[in-house]
Amino acid sequence: MPPRFVYWTILIDGKPTAFRARDQQELLPTLGQLKRTNQDVVMKWFARGKLWDSPEAERAADQRPAFTGEKRGADWRPGGTHKDPRDRFKKKNRPERAWSESDRPPQRDRDKLGPPREGKPWRDKPAGAPRGDRPWSAKPPGPRKPWSPKPTGERKPWSAAPQGERAPWRGKPAGPRKPWGAKPSGERKPWAARPQSPRKPWSPKPSGEKKPWSGKPAAARKPWTAKPAGERKPWSSKPSGPRKPWRERPEARKRRDDEPDKK
């Protein structure tokens, strides 16, 4: 299948056809057959949305011509005199670079001392030579003192930094300690739980006759009626005077008296 954007194609009377191929050799037999029946039949190279005589013509058109204009240096700037406007603020007598390859390197203090001294070959130190600034000396080869424990005499009591008068620390008395003894092996009391106070015996609910359930009497409640559709009284806040003592409504008192005794 030919590529999508780069291919050879046949034009008849300047109009494109469906004959397309990647290689030109594939369309040569078809081109010969079409020339028998048509006068204006040509083969063109299609690339980049245009028709070319050959791929070489396409590549030649892409080459840019040689530049023949003025040459611009590194200090060229657009507009005006083509110079950097910051140049007027630079010092006139200051060199462009603080150093250059021709400058001699600065002489250091270590170079003033002259050439380095020739090092002596390495060799081991003698066994009896001193080591470092202070001579090393081994332990005296004489007899060592025999080991003896610390004296067991009376030690001074320890005391911290005095912050006022403080009594000296004293250890436990040095008198004889009581001998260790196991627990007495006599008879032990038997284990017993805590005494429990007498509890009342459990008894179920009384199985006597229960009073039948009865709902609220229907005669005690007034039937529901909607609010009257007439004009409503304007809203007014409660009077600020003394309030009347609370009294039970008569219908509630009557309903309570009519209910059977639940006790």
Tens of pLDDT along the chain (263 residues)? 444 678 999 999 988 899 999 999 999 999 999 999 998 999 999 998 889 999 888 888 877 776 667 778 787 878 777 787 787 777 766 666 656 666 666 666 665 666 666 777 777 766 655 555 566 666 777 788 888 877 777 777 776 666 667 777 777 777 778 788 777 777 888 887 777 777 778 877 777 777 788 777 666 677 787 777 777 777 877 777 788 888 777 777 778 777 765 54
Query: Quick one: pLDDT at residue 11?
Result: 92
CA distance 227 to 60: 101
Query: Quick one: pLDDT at residue 94?
Result: 63
CA distance 249 to 200: 45
Query: Quick one: pLDDT at residue 63?
Result: 77
CA distance 171 to 155: 11
Query: Quick one: pLDDT at residue 164?
Result: 67
Tokens of 149: 């424990």
Query: Quick one: pLDDT at residue 205?
Result: 77
CA distance 22 to 3: 7
Query: Quick one: pLDDT at residue 10?
Result: 92
Please report how many Cα atoms fall inside a 13 Å half-sphere around the Cα of residue 36, on the Cβ side: 4
CA distance 130 to 137: 9
Model pTM greater than 0.75? Answer: no
